[in-house]
Amino acid sequence: MPTGMWRRSCNFRLAADGLGDYLIEMLTVSHVSKRFGRGDKPAALDDLSFTVNKGEIFGLLGHNGAGKSTALGIMLGMVYPDEGEVSIGGVSVQKQRERAMRKTGAIFEAPNFYDYLSGWRNLQVLTAFSGGVAKREMEEMVEWVGLEDRIQDKVNTYSHGMRQRLALAQALLPRPEMLLLDEPTDGLDPDGIVEFRKHLFALRNDFGVTILLNSHLLSEVEKTCDRIVILRKGHKVYEGNCRGLEQERDNYHFEVDSWQALAGVVEKCGGRTRKDERIVEWSCEEDIAILVSALVEAGVKVRQVTKLEASLEDLYMKVRGEKEGGT
Amino acid sequence: MMEFFRLLKWELFRMYARPRTYIGFAVFLAVEGLVLFLLSRPRVQGALQNWIEKVAGGFDQYFSGLTLGFILVGGTVFLLGAPFLSLVCGDIVAKESEDGNLRLLLARPVSRLKLLMVKYVSCQIYALSLFLFISSSALAVGIIERGWGGGYVVMTPEMPRVSIFEWGQGVGRFYLMPLFLVVSYLPLTSFAFMLSCMRIKPAAATIITLAVVMADFVLANFPLFPLFKEYRDWFVTPRMQMWVYSQYQDIPWPRVIENWAWLIGIGLTGFVLGWMSFERRDIKS
């Protein structure tokens, strides 16, 4: 496990930058737009703005081609935005990329390394670009990600999960304050996903690392992230927590003898029904018992009522539907 | 500066840890063996003996390890120098981009210019090591075949007259050859490097480089284009043959410097164009 030096070091560096612990916003994306190719092609990103606070795990969610990887590329200074700017720890990536990258570690989808070198050599090569890292620090990191038994083996003998652990180790050397992850759990088996998630929580909780997670896996984002941005065709369609903002209605699953009779009663009482899913949308402010009583009075046999917790999938489908309806 | 050398150390480490780097060395050895075999054929031996006796005197004295080494170097470099150097230099950025490693490097606090400078210098060090290897292995083969000592006699179509050296002086001249070869091949290595910096497949960078060098060579030398002879200085490949100046009896330094200026100028232009292209590129999966 990396020592407490990490946390002290992060604070020291922030203090040295004159930012101290007063800095709340770790990552700021301001009005970023990007269009690839000719002008008549749709924008890969259109006026994207959001902030990630220090110590947050933040999700960037969207379908394939939504603009997530473009956004990540811009955050790392590898893709040039047509407009807008990204700052990491108060340092502009577009104006002072090298300084901003000193605070940042990154993992990309399908981690690629120099396969003909050992894991250890790969770490040495990559950390040389950050000014080098002490052997002891590297050993601690290798142990923390659980690669100590295989680190001297060539990477071409590693499984996908081991490559991902090596990717995490390289991203964390030398001690970033911000971690940018591009589809990090893609291709991992269930054990690997759980293990990776544990590492992320440990990084945030124990070492105060801010994490931006770029993914199209709804369940993963839901279990990991404090807040999210949903992208659709380059546009931000939602920013907030994973449950959605103000929910006007709760969803209930009903098992009844006649859905037609139920629908009539629900409509009279001011609710809505989704026949195919056997779901009733009912105002959050009113007790569901009122509806059940009304149904019983109308002679509808109610066999079971189950309240459905709002999921990220519901939210995603909702914002997607709103966006498509609006366009 | 220390940071540059640290990065260079690891770039070279990566380059020489890669098995395919050594394919070039192995193939050069094989071709040296092939040239040696052809030289040992009776008719070739006879012609060589006649020529050496005519220009220098004793065949046994002047058909030494050095003379044989020079013939082996000339033959192998002419056959394989351009393909292998364009392969390595065309790979150096484009292959990293294709494999996805470039993003790992650029996620680090390093500028694109510094990254390219490290890679460009690595290409030149590779070229030097390759030419040193070719020269040393050719000399070793020559010494095994013809023994230690003797004179050194050199003649190529570009040379105005035969150069004749004694053993000690000959060894010095022989080892000037790899240094001159590196400068001579700067346009080729830089052109391949420039293409490698663009959004292009590594194989395409290699093939385009070879095609351009071949076209330049044909236009400058092929008898079907005699009118171009007046404009020979406009072509690059005649200047790339300046490495033979190192074997002249008296090295024509003004011409060497003039050619070096051209070759280094062309090489640096290739680097700058590659850098400009790379700097403007969006690096994306």
Yes or no, beta carbons of A105 and B7 under 8 Å apart? no
How many H helices and E strands in chain B? 15, 2
The DSSP code for B108 is S
Yes or no, beta carbons of B283 and A78 under 8 Å apart? yes
Give a yes or no: residue A263 inside a domain: yes
Q: How far apart are CA B64 and CA B42, in angstroms?
A: 17
Query: Over the stretch B209-241, which tens digit does the pLDDT of each residue have?
Result: 999 999 998 888 777 667 777 777 888 998 998
Give a yes or no: residue A218 inside a domain: yes
ipTM passes above 0.90: no
Q: How far apart are CA B186 and CA B82, in angstroms?
A: 11
Give a yes or no: residue A298 inside a domain: yes
Residues in contact with A169: Cβ distance below 8 Å, sequence separation at least 6, in sequence order: A119, A123, A141, A142, A144, A145, A147
**The CATH number of the domain where A286 resides is what?**
3.30.70.100
Residues of B in contact with A99 (CB under 8 A): 109
pLDDT beyond 80 at A13: no
Q: How far apart, in Å, are the Cα atoms of A312 and each of A220, A222, B36, B180?
A: 10, 6, 73, 66
Yes or no, beta carbons of B107 and A101 under 8 Å apart? yes
Say if residue A77 is in the same domain as residue A140.
Answer: yes
Identify the sign of the CA torsion A310, A311, A314, A316: positive
Query: Over the stretch B25-64, which tens digit does the pLDDT of each residue have?
Result: 888 889 888 888 888 888 888 888 888 888 778 888 888 8
Interface contacts (A, B; CB < 8 Å) = 86
Give a yes or no: residue A86 inside a domain: yes
Say if residue A272 is in the same domain as residue A199.
Answer: no
Give the mean pLDDT of chain A. Answer: 85
Which comes out higher in pLDDT, residue A100 or B149? A100
Strand A227-232 and strand A210-215: the pairing is: unpaired
Which comes out higher in pLDDT, residue B170 or A187? B170
Structure tokens at B100: 């996805």
Domain boundary among A219, A240, A261: A240
Write the single-letter amino acid at A79: V
Say if residue A75 is in the same domain as residue A195.
Answer: yes
Q: How far apart are CA A173 and CA A104, in angstroms?
A: 10
Q: Quote the domain boundaries for residue A286.
A: 249-309
**The CATH number of the domain where A73 resides is what?**
3.40.50.300
Give a yes or no: residue A186 inside a domain: yes
Say if residue A184 is in the same domain as residue A300.
Answer: no
Residues of B in contact with A101 (CB under 8 A): 107-110
* Cis peptide bond N-terminal to A174, omega within 30: yes
With 0-12 / 13-18 / 19 or more C-beta atoms within 10 angstroms meaning exposed / middle / buried, residue A277 is exposed
A110 near B CB under 8 A: yes
Say if residue A169 is in the same domain as residue A291.
Answer: no
Grouping H, G, I as helix, E, B as strand and the rest as coil, residue A249 is strand
CB B196 within 8 A of CB B94: yes
Q: How many domains does chain A have?
A: 2
A5 near B CB under 8 A: no
- Over residues A113-122, mean pLDDT: 95
Closest CA to A27 of A59, A54, A67: A54
In the block, tokens 């402010």 appear at A285
Say if residue A120 is in the same domain as residue A186.
Answer: yes
Which residues of B lie inside 8 Å of A (Cβ-Cβ)? 3, 6-7, 9-10, 13-14, 17-19, 99-101, 103-111, 280, 282-285
Say if residue A224 is in the same domain as residue A287.
Answer: no
Yes or no, beta carbons of A124 and B17 under 8 Å apart? no
Say if residue A86 is in the same domain as residue A222.
Answer: yes
* DSSP bridge pairs for A180: A106, A212
Give a yes or no: residue A317 inside a domain: no
Say if residue A259 is in the same domain as residue A286.
Answer: yes
